[in-house]
């Protein structure tokens, strides 16, 4: 979907230094008061006593209303698409497995797939999967073409910033009501700041999983990383579950779970002991395992860490996500979806999904219109099949040559999450020279999205010590929109219970290739619909 170009070069409005300082004070004080927070950098004490506000932008960023609505609309289709991928074992084995897929050359993916395959062979105790998703987009502005949204990636594990995203939307709305933003722009009015209720949306997703498990007194397990700084984004979800759904949670790391988690060999019930709780049985039944961890290889430093992951997976608790759903979120899957006929396999096949499970050609094409060109580095001339001859001979196949020739307009991505793993533009040729031929299969090439130029914002990052001031820095920026969704699916029924549940904007300096708030590249932002 596309829309007419809009003038963003006037953004952000100019402010006098006095106005800027006053707004910054309003904003940072609101952030600190309303839990738009991060823990301090460095080693985390067991009980933290201080926090800083998360990095954020002073103004919401302009975004075409129509394209925002497109993103929200197609999220429903994406929810179903990724649910069906996760249920298609044949497809995931082929694309991500260790015989023909990425798992052959990528140890992390191979470990996850092998563990999952073994559990499948034993027989799974729980056939439901729960997904909390985030589909990320950039605006694409080719000259002579209308502006469009293009997908950066689709995340199926540990999607973050839902809660802080709601808080920054509320902050921008507060600045509008309390200061009128000094009447500095006619576009800054309440109807252009869309509501953002992602906290209740994501909590609802988790509650849907918990209710499907349906055992009184059971709790949701949050699997978290040691030393996590982004805890408030997780805590808001925890408080919402308690206040709106009367659901209690337990937070533990893989290391803690190695000692505290037990799966009954007959019933497959997952129980976790929790030293802070007084409970008659000494341990608590888990309804849903919610991962805010487990997506990076360095989180599995020993075989025992994988064993803990597989122990949880073996249980009859509902996993958010299952290993299958985590694998479905791989960048390789995103690339394969762009190949001819693959979307049709998942969205247009009446034999598999029934008459009611079919999407219209228009819906499929609208989704496909968000794809950039992608291919595997291991492919031959037809760009669809692996080029085994050239790989085994170490020669350069077509996919690799194309990546070398078009390097200036590409990003290369491995099967990793969490930021900082991609190779961009000029760095590509040297990287390709150093990449062992057998590892090519683990990488995809993707055309770079070209965001519109000329838009700016004031970015505010907290100092980490008392003496540091909190000056707002004006910068040319690029904004990445994320749309959240949840899906519960699997078991007997073909039905996917799903919903679009909110959005996120992360804004980065225009010259930074990477995004990511946790990695320090981006700040949290919200939308000004134009």
**Annotation says 104 is catalytic:** no
Q: Pick between residue 159 and residue 324 the one whose CB is nearest to ligand ADP.
A: 159
DSSP annotation of 386 reads B
**Annotation says 153 is catalytic:** yes
Q: Which residues contact 264 (CB under 8 A, 6 or more apart)?
A: 271
**Annotation says 494 is catalytic:** no
Question: CB under 6 A: which stretch of 224-232, 316-324, 425-433, 445-453 binds ligand ADP?
Answer: 445-453
Would you count residue 152 as binding ligand ADP (CB under 6 A)? yes
155 assigned ligand-binding residue: yes
Would you state the structure tokens that stand for residue 205, as one six-digit string? Answer: 């997703």
Q: Cα 447 from chain centroid?
A: 20
Residues 135-194 that bind Mg ion (CB under 5 A): 153, 155
Min separation Cβ 34 and Mg ion, Å: 26
391 assigned ligand-binding residue: no
Would you count residue 162 as binding ligand ADP (CB under 6 A)? no
**Annotation says 522 is catalytic:** no
Q: How many CA atoms within 13 Å lie on the side-chain side of 324?
A: 27
By DSSP bridging, strand 410-413 and strand 444-447 are antiparallel
Would you count residue 309 as binding ligand ADP (CB under 6 A)? no
Of the candidates 292, 302, 309, 248, which has an alpha carbon nearest to the alpha carbon of residue 274? 248
Min separation Cβ 61 and Mg ion, Å: 17
Min separation Cβ 191 and Mg ion, Å: 30
Q: What is the rounded CA–CA span in Å between residue 221 and residue 122?
A: 24
How many residues sit in the footprint of ligand ADP (CB under 6 A)?
19
Strand spans (E) along 25-127: 37-39, 51-53, 56-57, 61-63
Q: Which residues contact 346 (CB under 8 A, 6 or more apart)?
A: 81, 84, 85, 88
415 assigned ligand-binding residue: yes
Would you count residue 417 as binding ligand ADP (CB under 6 A)? yes
Would you state the structure tokens that stand for residue 23, as one six-digit string? Answer: 């707004």
Residues 451-490 that bind ligand ADP (CB under 6 A): 480
Q: Binding string, 395-434, against Mg ion, x = CB under 5 A?
A: ----------------------x-----------------
Would you count residue 421 as binding ligand ADP (CB under 6 A)? yes
**Annotation says 417 is catalytic:** yes
**Annotation says 515 is catalytic:** no
Q: Which residues contact 412 (CB under 8 A, 6 or more apart)?
A: 377, 403, 422, 423, 424, 428, 431, 443, 444, 445, 446
Query: Which one of Mg ion, ligand ADP, none is in contact with 411 (Cβ closer than 5 to 8 A by kind)?
Result: ligand ADP
Residues 499-528 that bind ligand ADP (CB under 6 A): 514-516
3-state secondary structure of 510: coil
Q: Pick between residue 136 and residue 313 the one whose CB is nearest to ligand ADP.
A: 136
Q: Residue 173: exposed, middle, or buried by beta-carbon count in 10 A (0-12, 13-18, 19+)?
A: middle
Q: What is the rounded CA–CA span in Å between residue 503 and residue 473?
A: 25
Q: Binding string, 362-391, against ligand ADP, x = CB under 6 A?
A: ----------x-------------------
Of the candidates 182, 213, 199, 289, which has an alpha carbon nearest to the alpha carbon of residue 243? 199
The stretches of 34-131 forming alpha helices (DSSP H) are 65-87, 89-96, 107-122
**Annotation says 492 is catalytic:** no
Please identify which of the residues 316, 319, 413, 440 carries the catalytic annotation: 413
Instruction: Map tokens 């290369």 to a residue.
Output: 412
Min separation Cβ 372 and ligand ADP, Å: 5
Please identify which of the residues 79, 160, 169, 390 carries the catalytic annotation: 160
Would you count residue 446 as binding ligand ADP (CB under 6 A)? yes
- With beta carbons less than 8 A apart as the criterion, state whether 191 and 176 touch: no
Residue ranges in contact with ligand ADP by CB under 6 A: 136, 138, 152-153, 372, 411, 413, 417-419, 421-422, 446, 448-449, 480, 514-516
Residue ranges in contact with Mg ion by CB under 5 A: 153, 155, 417
Which residue ranges are tagged as binding site? 134, 153, 155, 157-160, 228-230, 234, 292-295, 331, 413-422, 424, 446-449, 480, 506, 508, 514, 517-518
């Amino acid at each position: 979907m596309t829309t007419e170009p809009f003038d963003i070069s006037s953004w952000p409005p100019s402010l006098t230094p006095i106005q800027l300082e006053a707004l910054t004070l309003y904003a940072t004080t609101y952030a600190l008061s309303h839990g738009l927070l991060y823990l301090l950098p460095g080693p985390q004490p067991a009980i933290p006593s201080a926090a800083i506000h998360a990095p954020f932008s002073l103004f919401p960023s302009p975004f075409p209303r129509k394209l925002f609505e497109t993103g929200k609309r197609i999220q429903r289709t994406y929810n179903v698409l990724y649910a069906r991928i996760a249920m298609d074992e044949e497809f995931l084995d082929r694309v991500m497995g260790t015989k023909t897929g990425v798992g052959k050359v990528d140890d992390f993916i191979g470990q996850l797939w092998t563990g999952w395959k073994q559990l499948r062979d034993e027989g799974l105790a729980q056939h439901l999967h729960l997904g909390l998703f985030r589909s990320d987009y950039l605006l694409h502005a080719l000259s002579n073409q209308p502006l469009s949204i293009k997908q950066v990636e689709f995340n199926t594990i540990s999607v973050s910033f839902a809660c802080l995203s709601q808080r920054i939307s509320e902050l921008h709305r507060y600045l509008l009501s309390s200061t009128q933003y000094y009447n500095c722009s006619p576009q800054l009015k309440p109807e252009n700041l869309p509501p953002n209720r992602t906290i209740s949306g994501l909590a609802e997703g988790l509650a849907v999983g918990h209710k499907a498990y349906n055992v009184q007194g059971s709790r949701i397990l949050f699997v978290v990383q040691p030393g996590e700084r982004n805890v408030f984004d997780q805590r808001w979800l925890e408080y919402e579950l308690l206040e709106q759904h009367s659901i209690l949670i337990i937070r533990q790391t893989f290391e803690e779970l190695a000692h505290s988690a037990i799966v009954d060999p007959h019933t497959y019930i997952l129980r976790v002991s929790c030293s802070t709780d007084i409970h008659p049985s000494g341990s608590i039944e888990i309804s849903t395992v919610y991962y805010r961890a487990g997506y990076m290889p360095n989180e599995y430093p020993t075989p025992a860490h994988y064993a803990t992951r597989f122990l949880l997976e073996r249980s009859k608790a509902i996993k958010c996500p299952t290993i299958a759903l985590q694998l479905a979120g791989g960048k390789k899957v995103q690339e394969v979806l762009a190949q001819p006929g693959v979307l049709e396999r998942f969205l247009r096949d009446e034999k598999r999904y029934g008459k009611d499970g079919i999407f219209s050609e228009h819906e499929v094409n609208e989704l496909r219109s968000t794809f950039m060109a992608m291919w595997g580095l291991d492919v031959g001339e037809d760009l669809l099949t692996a080029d085994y001859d050239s790989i085994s001979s170490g020669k350069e196949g077509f996919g690799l040559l194309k990546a070398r020739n078009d390097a200036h307009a590409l990003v290369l991505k491995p099967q990793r999450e969490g930021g900082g793993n991609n190779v961009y533009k000029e760095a590509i040729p040297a990287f390709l020279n150093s990449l062992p031929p057998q590892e090519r299969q683990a990488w995809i090439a993707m055309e770079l999205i070209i965001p519109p130029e000329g838009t700016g914002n004031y970015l505010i990052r907290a100092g980490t010590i008392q003496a540091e001031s909190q000056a707002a820095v004006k910068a040319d920026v690029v904004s990445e929109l994320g749309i959240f969704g949840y899906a519960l699916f699997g078991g007997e029924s073909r039905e996917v219970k799903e919903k679009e549940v909110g959005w996120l904007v992360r804004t980065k300096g225009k010259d930074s290739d990477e995004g990511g708030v946790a990695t320090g590249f981006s700040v949290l932002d919200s939308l000004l619909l134009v």
